[in-house]
Amino acid sequence: MAENNIDVSKMPFERAIEELESIVKRLEEGKVPLEESVTIYERGEALKARCEHLLRQAEARVEKITLDASGKPTGSEPLDVD
């Protein structure tokens, strides 16, 4: 699998999620030898962690627009994600 040569920590979200979906599909098919299953499962875990990290970063950058009493935008503040 050529993707295994790419450093997960440098992958953009879209590429990481695409490869993760491919791994899940291969594992669900059950046609992968046991040793390879373990290897691609471990890579899948790394991809999952990368996707979660990138999503947390994106959430931290999202801001909500603040409005004044008349409903006009006055600025923005960090989005409270809790």
pLDDT of the residue at 37: 95
Task: Give the whole-angstrom CA distance, residue 76 versus residue 56.
Answer: 19
The model's pTM is: 0.71
Tell me which of 81 and 59 has the higher pLDDT. Answer: 59
Q: Quote the pLDDT of residue 58.
A: 84
- Cα 71 from chain centroid (whole Å): 35
Query: For 24-61, how does the pLDDT look when each residue is reduced to its tens digit (9 = 90+)?
Result: 999 999 999 999 999 999 999 999 999 999 998 887 77
For the chain, the C-alpha Rg in angstroms (whole number) is: 19
Task: Give the Cα separation of 65 and 73 in Å (integer).
Answer: 7
